[in-house]
Chains A and B, each alone.
Chain A
């Protein structure tokens, strides 16, 4: 998967956790999940769980801590997908 493909999929994963749909439509790698998308920090856990299920990967706690903006989410997800192959 390309980073752009992961980003497009990530939008769907994040969607239930943000009311800011306009911002979600135009996210880029610098978009901050908490500050820009106003996601409740407790819900980051849920986004990670949903991403694990979607990509059939496992993200450990230390890696999860890095996933604060869209770019770092894509870093972790693409690395995990790569390890699977």
Chain B
């Protein structure tokens, strides 16, 4: 069985709201965080809109010392620090400690360091000015930059890991933290993920022709998961963070408990049986979802809400088909399903953690956030499931169990089962 694992703190940096209260307001009211990016027009990008958090570097002075802030250039690190430290504060604990917190670890994922910031490094080296780089480049270029800044600020002394599994990174980080606590290796894990889709990474996706390009003059309409007019995803940026704790450990300190992580699974389709570098194998997805249910000891009919991956590419239809097959629920019996990406775009590694924060807020506050821009659902999807399961307006409703899944390049999958705490 293992220890029960609960969520005791949350933080979020999202294109449609920074901090949990602003984010909650945004997802309840269907507020889009997608904006026109004039710079992308100048660069001849096909997609010229993005989900960028309204982030102010100055606001970090409330989180880290001015010495640390001076020379911090990695935007992904900045987002991750803010979400993680907000989650920590939300869980009722202080930032400061003299002793290492041996019982607490961190799993925080990301895809790539801020290449825009690295451009300065490349330019200086090429200009034979390597001596002017200074001491702060390596720590921000390394994949473990985000976890290093977070765990250093909070003095974590348990496992510190940086995971990277493309778009499945965020849910995978949460699952890894869950497993360490469940098996008794740690009492508390700060988990989550961060992503800054800078100009160069954005450009690389643009060149793959997987981004939405027909709504540049109407940015809030551009991200259209499951719609007939969905024409690709919109890159987003941000971070989501959660404090996970052993239930008894959390109860002993009188922590407030938002929800319970019942279990989950992460796997790969092996890039076989239809799976490729860029496409998920349905066999792998089905196994991932089924194993999540078994590990969580629930049956498919208990799922109240699916928080889908659903990016607004032509993979949406196959994803819905996979959920139907994995749960053996279809038509009117299909669970209510939503995609946060309709409001904030697809924030790659950060997607899973931001969507998990959204999932838990829906459990805690008893609502289902809308799928915005779904006024024209894809008929191939509504052949499989009832339109009533794809709400376009917020629904006030008790939500007990959420299935949250993400699927990433490399044919990697990750699924979490989240529950109201009983």
Contact = CB atoms under 8 A, between A and B. Distances in A.
B24 to A, nearest CB: 34
Interface of A: 16-19, 40, 42-43, 45-46, 49, 52-53
Nearest to A46: B134
Interface stretch (B63-71, B163-171, B329-337, B388-396): B63-71
Contacts of A40: 67
Contacts, number: 25
25 contacts: A16-B66, A16-B67, A16-B70, A16-B71, A17-B67, A17-B70, A18-B67, A19-B65, A19-B66, A19-B67, A40-B67, A42-B135, A43-B67, A43-B135, A45-B134, A45-B135, A46-B71, A46-B134, A46-B135, A46-B136, A49-B131, A49-B132, A49-B134, A52-B132, A53-B132
Contacts of B71: 16, 46
A1 to B, nearest CB: 23
Interface of B: 65-67, 70-71, 131-132, 134-136
Contacts of A16: 66-67, 70-71
A45 B65 CA distance: 19
Nearest to A40: B67
A52 B67 CA distance: 20
Nearest to B131: A49
A42 B367 CA distance: 50
A62 B134 CA distance: 16
B245 to A, nearest CB: 31
B213 to A, nearest CB: 43
Contacts of A18: 67
Nearest to B65: A19
Contacts of B132: 49, 52-53
A41 B71 CA distance: 15
Contacts of B70: 16-17
Contacts of A17: 67, 70
